[in-house]
């Protein structure tokens, strides 16, 4: 068993103002996406540089944060809808914790589509250059979860199991690190190596959706299910259900993507 590192979730505390590692990871994630997008020739060909790229990152950030919070309420708190109807301000209280990746993805996609339409950018080409950078942001986010001691794994006796402060006395899988490695580092390497291949536009989006869905589905077998939901039908977590939807979406989307124009 490995000891859980005691890292203060707050980097700086000045009165009621706190700078948290988790929030810093969000910022670093957006910054890394900005620089990695800018390094791609395809992004420069689309004019995604400078202020235009900054505007895109800002739009995606807003969509992600709003979508992540709404997704958490809709996907993971359906048994508490009456509470949120009585306390509607709690829906936007991100400082109380509770963010959903799948909701964040939907929110970012929605604002990304709106941005491309307003700026007259080819949607699938722009989506491809953005999506290959996203796993790095995901890895940073999972490190933030680990520092917070949240979203820990199921009880385990593997040599690297840890006792999390909020997880009781049992050693558990450090599932946040599994996710940081698979959904983050491994998926990023795969997408980055494939990004220059001659695929039809939108293919990288499909690779991301399918790859993330598969990796997250597998890690969920080691991750503690959300206590307010547990395992649906005694078998799958809510995260796994949403990941199956992602994998199916990737397959269907790839089939209906516009075909690549023939070379002259």
In a domain, 13, yes or no: no
172 - beta bridge partners? 155, 162
Residue 15 has pLDDT above 80, yes or no: no
In a domain, 2, yes or no: no
Average pLDDT, the chain: 90
Q: What is the pLDDT of residues 30-80, one digit of tens each?
A: 999 999 999 999 999 999 999 999 999 999 999 998 898 888 888 877 667
Q: Which residue has better confidence, 22 or 56? A: 56
Distance in angstroms (rounded) separating the CA atoms of residues 71 and 249: 18
The position carrying tokens 């039809």 is: 200
Distance in angstroms (rounded) separating the CA atoms of residues 225 and 236: 9
The structural domain count of the chain equals 1
Domain extent, residue 52, equals: 21-256
In a domain, 16, yes or no: no
pLDDT at site 264: 40
**pTM for the full model?**
0.88
In a domain, 119, yes or no: yes
**What letter would DSSP give residue 172?**
B
Q: Percent of the chain having pLDDT more than 70?
A: 95
In a domain, 221, yes or no: yes
Distance in angstroms (rounded) separating the CA atoms of residues 216 and 102: 11
Decide if 85 contacts 56 (C-beta within 8 A): no
The alpha carbon dihedral of 229, 232, 235, 237 has a sign of negative
Mean pLDDT of 203-208: 97
In a domain, 4, yes or no: no
Which tokens in the block code for residue 249?
């979406």
- Return the half-sphere exposure (C-beta side, CA atoms, 13 A cut-off) of residue 193: 6
In a domain, 9, yes or no: no
Count CB atoms within 10 A of the CB of residue 120: 7
Which range, of 93-102, 159-168, 187-196, 217-226, averages the lowest pLDDT? 93-102
Distance in angstroms (rounded) separating the CA atoms of residues 168 and 152: 11
Q: What is the pLDDT of residues 141-178, one digit of tens each?
A: 999 999 999 999 999 999 999 999 999 999 999 999 99
In a domain, 174, yes or no: yes
pLDDT at site 263: 46
Tell me if residue 20 falls in helix, strand or coil: strand
């Amino acid at each position: 068993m490995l000891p859980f590192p005691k890292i203060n979730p707050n980097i700086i505390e000045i009165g009621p103002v706190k700078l948290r590692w988790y929030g810093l990871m969000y910022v670093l994630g957006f910054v890394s996406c900005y620089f990695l997008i800018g390094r791609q020739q395809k992004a420069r060909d689309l004019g995604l540089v400078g202020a235009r790229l900054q505007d895109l990152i800002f739009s995606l950030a807003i969509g992600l944060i709003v979508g992540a919070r709404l997704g958490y309420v809709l996907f993971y708190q359906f048994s508490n809808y009456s509470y949120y109807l009585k306390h509607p301000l709690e829906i936007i209280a991100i400082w109380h914790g509770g963010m959903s990746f799948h909701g964040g993805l939907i929110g970012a996609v929605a604002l990304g589509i709106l941005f491309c339409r307003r700026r007259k950018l080819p949607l699938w080409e722009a989506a491809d250059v953005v999506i290959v950078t996203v796993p790095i942001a995901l890895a940073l986010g999972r490190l933030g979860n680990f520092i917070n001691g949240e979203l820990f794994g199921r009880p385990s006796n593997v040599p690297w199991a840890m006792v999390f402060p909020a997880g009781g006395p049992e050693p558990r899988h450090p599932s946040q690190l599994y996710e940081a490695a698979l959904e983050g580092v491994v998926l990023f390497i795969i997408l980055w190596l494939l990004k220059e291949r001659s695929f039809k536009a939108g293919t990288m989006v499909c690779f991301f959706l399918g790859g993330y869905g598969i990796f997250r589905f597998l890690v969920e077998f080691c991750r503690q299910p959300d206590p307010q939901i547990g395992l649906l039908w005694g078998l799958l977590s809510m995260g796994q259900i949403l990941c199956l939807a992602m994998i199916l979406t990737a397959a269907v989307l790839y089939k209906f993507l516009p075909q690549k124009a023939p070379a002259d």
